[in-house]
Amino acid sequence: MNFTVAGGLQAKNLDLLKPLIKEFPELSIDAEGKLRDEKDKLDFIAVKKYLEKAKEIF
């Protein structure tokens, strides 16, 4: 069984997942809301930062 973490994820808080990744190396992450701007448009700068941080911690 694999687990997914979702809800409020963004580049700023991905470090909180490090203990979970260590325990569950197949962990998946899902983000959307915190990667959008005030007009609900995808913020590509936030997406880039999120992906860079995810790559770093995984």
Q: What domain range is 42 assigned to?
A: 4-57
The C-alpha atoms of residue 17 and residue 9 are separated, in whole angstroms, by 10
Q: What is the mean pLDDT of residues 4-24?
A: 97
pLDDT at 33: 95
Count of the separate structural domains present in the chain? 1
How do residues 22-49 score in pLDDT, each as one tens digit? 999 999 999 999 999 999 999 999 999 9
Amino acid in the structure at residue 53: K
- In this prediction the pTM is 0.91
Give me 47's structure tokens.
């997406």
